[in-house]
A = this chain, B = another copy of it.
Amino acid sequence: MGVAAIIMAGGRGERFWPASRADRPKQFLAFHGGRTLLQQTVDRLAGLVETKNLWIITREDYAHLVYQQVPEVPRSRVLLEPEGRDTAPCIALATLHVARTNPDAVTVVLPADHLVVQEERFREALRAAAELASRGDRLVTLGIRPTRPETAYGYIEIGPPVEASGAYHAYSVRGFTEKPPRERAIAYLQRGGFYWNSGIFVWRVSAILSALREHMPGLMARLEPLARAIGTEQEAEELRRIYPTLPRLSIDYGVMERARNTLMIPADFGWDDLGTWAALERVLPADEDGNVLSGRVLAVDTRGSVVQGHGERLVATFGVSDLVVVDSRDAVLIADKHRVGELKAVVGRMEAEGLRDHLLTAPRSETDRAGQWG
């Protein structure tokens, strides 16, 4: 069984400003351990997917960042979207490429910007999912066992167990749900049978292509001339012509919710989608006052805060609590920790108030040393 992987690395990550910028989103930043989220995602697949079967799909603008950060992946395996069109077009395009070189592959599709604490358990779960997917025409997704009534994630409701692979059971899927309000999230946790939607999928190339053809025939029809052009001189031109016309739709809406052959494997490997700065509290060690500090930070009488320094600069906090403070070369953010999910509002105000420069990476000055955020 050949396992291929498609890493989706085209996200914008605006909620991590000012560390993330329009020209360097979250997946290209290192939050812990020195390696960026994209690099960690590639590292994490070692032993499961051979490098030659690894595909990365990203936006054209980020190509240089992918080339820099994961030079071990040949440029022919880095696919470039002319613009972001959500996950269904992205997965369809990447799968057409995989199909040309490895039509029988089981493919793991996963985002580049998530965090996984227990990497060996992550690979175990994916091995079980790949084994199940290899058995035939089914769409397997990983559901994360919820540990809190999280309102920032979508949930998957499962039905009865259907099959097993080793210690892993696969369940039928009753439905996918939107991010719930808090009371409903609490109810999900109490009732059981609800799992966080990880956005990680495993399927045979043939299974997802046939599901796409069934549930998104318009998308696949538009992609047909592009599919024929792959590997020819017309490929780049066709891609630029066709891609911007594709429907903006997620694979969850477009395929997973409609398909009858979906299975979910419950998994538990210390997963977080790092949706906001506040997520760092859950995944990085805190000091005795509940602060998650990184870089050159002096926190005096400070509680429950996430503070990120930048390079040689000092961030000093005094008498404050429940803040997120993020320094960068040309901007510093000070926000209520409980509202960092709304950070796009700040980015929107910056656009409106002529502060767009600060949405892009600041030019590096000569005496400035590299910060953690690169």
- Check A313 against B334 for contact (C-beta < 8 Å): no
- Check A350 against B318 for contact (C-beta < 8 Å): no
Q: Which residues of B contact A331 (CB under 8 A)?
A: 313-316
- Check B336 against A319 for contact (C-beta < 8 Å): yes
Query: Nearest Cβ distance between residue A19 and chain B, in whole angstroms?
Result: 13
- Check B335 against A313 for contact (C-beta < 8 Å): no
| Of the residues B336, B358, B366, contact of A367 by C-beta under 8 Å | B366
The reply to whether the CB of A346 lies closer than 8 angstroms to some CB of chain B is yes
Query: Nearest Cβ distance between residue A328 and chain B, in whole angstroms?
Result: 9
Query: Nearest Cβ distance between residue A365 and chain B, in whole angstroms?
Result: 4
| Of the residues B320, B335, B349, contact of A335 by C-beta under 8 Å | B320
Q: Which residues of B contact A313 (CB under 8 A)?
A: 330-332
Q: Which residues of B contact A342 (CB under 8 A)?
A: 318-319
- Check A320 against B298 for contact (C-beta < 8 Å): no
Q: Which residues of B contact A316 (CB under 8 A)?
A: 18, 331-335, 346, 350, 358
CA distance A315 to B330 in the complex (A): 9
CA distance A345 to B317 in the complex (A): 11
Q: Which residues of B contact A334 (CB under 8 A)?
A: 315-318, 320, 323, 325, 334
Q: Which residues of B contact A1 (CB under 8 A)?
A: none
Kindly identify, within residues 280 to 328 of chain A, every residue whose CB is under 8 Å from any CB belonging to chain B.
Answer: 296, 298, 300-301, 312-320, 323, 325, 327
Kindly identify, within residues 140 to 195 of chain A, every residue whose CB is under 8 Å from any CB belonging to chain B.
Answer: none
Would you give the 0/1 interface string for A341-361, flagging 1 where the beta carbon is closer than 8 Å to chain B?
A: 011011001100101001000
- Check A298 against B346 for contact (C-beta < 8 Å): yes
Given A318-B335, A318-B345, A335-B320, answer yes or no on A350-B298 (Cβ-Cβ < 8 Å): yes
Q: How many copies does the complex hold?
A: 2
Q: Which residues of B contact A340 (CB under 8 A)?
A: 318
CA distance A308 to B167 in the complex (A): 58
| Of the residues B314, B365, B366, contact of A355 by C-beta under 8 Å | B314
Q: Which residues of B contact A75 (CB under 8 A)?
A: none
- Check A339 against B355 for contact (C-beta < 8 Å): no
The reply to whether the CB of A60 lies closer than 8 angstroms to some CB of chain B is no
Q: Which residues of B contact A333 (CB under 8 A)?
A: 316-318
Kindly identify, within residues 358 to 372 of chain A, every residue whose CB is under 8 Å from any CB belonging to chain B.
Answer: 358, 363, 365-368
Given A315-B334, A365-B367, A367-B363, answer yes or no on A353-B298 (Cβ-Cβ < 8 Å): yes
Q: Which residues of B contact A330 (CB under 8 A)?
A: 312-314
CA distance A327 to B325 in the complex (A): 12
- Check B366 against A314 for contact (C-beta < 8 Å): no
Given A365-B365, A366-B367, A367-B363, answer yes or no on A318-B298 (Cβ-Cβ < 8 Å): no
> Residue on B with the closest CB to A317?
B334
Would you give the 0/1 interface string for A74-102, flagging 1 where the beta carbon is closer than 8 Å to chain B?
A: 00000000000000000000000000000
- Check A319 against B332 for contact (C-beta < 8 Å): no
Q: A316-B358, A318-B342, A325-B334 are in contact. List 4 more A-B contacts (CB 8 A).
A: A298-B353, A301-B339, A316-B346, A320-B335
Top 4 A-B residue pairs of the complex, sorted by shortest distance between their CB atoms:
A319-B336, A365-B367, A314-B331, A318-B335
A-B pairs with beta carbons under 8 Å apart, 13 shown:
A300-B346, A313-B331, A314-B331, A315-B331, A316-B335, A316-B350, A318-B335, A319-B335, A319-B336, A320-B323, A320-B334, A325-B332, A327-B332
